[in-house]
A = this chain, B = another copy of it.
Amino acid sequence: MADLIEPTRLTKKDFETDQDVRWCPGCGDYSILANVQRVMPELGLPLEQIVWVSGIGCSSRFPYYMNTYGFHTIHGRAPAFATGIKTANPELSVWMATGDGDGLSIGGNHLMHCLRRNVDIKILLFNNRIYGLTKGQYSPTSEVGKVTKSTPSGSVDQPIDPASFALGVNASFVARSIDVEAQHLGDVLRRAAKHVGTAFTEIYQNCNVFNDGAFDSFTDKAVKADRQIRVEHGKPLVFGAERNKGLRLNPATMTLEVVDLAAGGVTEADLLVHDETNSVLAYMLARMPYPAFPVALGVLFCELRPTFGASLTTQRQAAEQKYGGGDVDALLGGGNTWTI
C-alpha cells in the first residue's frame, strides 16, 4: 500500500474516462463515482497500478468510468477474479465494485471466502436494496414485504445485513457509509484504502428508478443526526442533533439502550466507547433494531491480520530459498530412473 501522505500529481480528472456514464439521471452511483474519483489521487499510486473489478449490475458498470485498469466480469464472481489478480500481482491496488444482488445473492459465497481469506482488496458494495439492472426485483437486502415485479404480494425472505454477514465470516475491515455523504464516504474510503487486507465497505445507494428513497428515513437532512450514529474508534457512542443521545450497554441482559444525555443523570462516561477491534461490539452495532436505534455508520470493525497474499509470498520465498528457482531437468530426473 503506497504511503497516503506522499503527495501525487494526479487529480480527479485523471481518473475519469472518455466513456459517457450510462446510469439513470439521479442515480446514487454518480455520487459514489465522484467521491471515489476524488479520493483515488490520494492513494499516491500511478493509474496503471490500480485495477477495478466488478461483476454484473448497474453498480458493476463502475470500472468503465475509472481511468485505471478494469475488468467487468460475470455476475457474482468478482471476488474470485480479484483474488486471482491480486495473487498474480501483489503490487497492484485492487478495488472491487459490487451490488447487493451481485455481491450477496449470486456472489455471496465468493464474497464470504474472499473476506475470510483476507485477500488484500478493497470492496465497495453498493446497497440499493434492489436489482437495478434487471429492472426492479427484490434483493437479499430488501425489507420483508417488499413489493416488486417478482413479488407482487410482497417478499417473504428476511434480509441480510451486509455488515453482520461480513463480521460473521471474519472480515478484517467492515465499514458503512452513504452515497451522497461526500465527507463521510471520503473518510471511510481513505480508511479502506489504508487497510491491509480485505476492506469491506457497504454504501447505501439510492436507486431512484426502482427503489427511490429507500434510505430517506435516516439519510434526510432533517432527521439524519437523530437516525444515524457515526462511530469513531475510542470515542463514546454519541449521536443526535444536539449530540445529546448515546448508547449504553445493559450488562445484565447484554443489550443496548439509547440514553438521553440532556436529561442529566447519564453522562458520556456511562456510554459504550467504540472499539473497532471488538468484533462483538461491531456485530451489536451493525444490527441494532431500526428505528428504535440509530443506523451505525463508519468503521465498525478493523483488525490487522496476515493477508492471503502475504502468506503465500512467504511460502513461495521459503520454497525458492530451499530449492532455488525451479529446475525442470531436476524435476523430471528425480526419483527412480534408468538409462538405456
Contacts and interface: CB of A to CB of B under 8 A. Distances in A.
Interface residues of A, number: 48
Interface string A103-133: 0011111001100111000000000000000
Given A253-B278, A283-B283, A108 B117 contact: no
A158 interface: yes
A18 B311 CA distance: 49
Q: Quick one: copies of this chain in the complex?
A: 2
Contacts of A116: 140, 157-160
B283 A254 contact: no
Interface in A156-205: 156-161, 164-170
A112 B113 CA distance: 13
B275 A253 contact: yes
A298 to B, nearest CB: 17
A168 B162 CA distance: 9
A280 interface: yes
Contacts of A251: 249, 251
A312 interface: yes
Interface string A302-313: 000110100110
A279 B118 CA distance: 25
Nearest to A311: B156
Given A108-B108, A167-B168, A156 B308 contact: yes
A283 B318 CA distance: 38
Interface string A268-295: 0000100100111101100100000000
A281 B308 contact: no
Interface string A5-39: 00000000000000000000000000000000000
A315 interface: yes
Interface of A: 105-109, 112-113, 116-118, 140, 153-154, 156-161, 164-170, 249, 251, 253-255, 272, 275, 278-281, 283-284, 287, 305-306, 308, 311-312, 315, 318-319
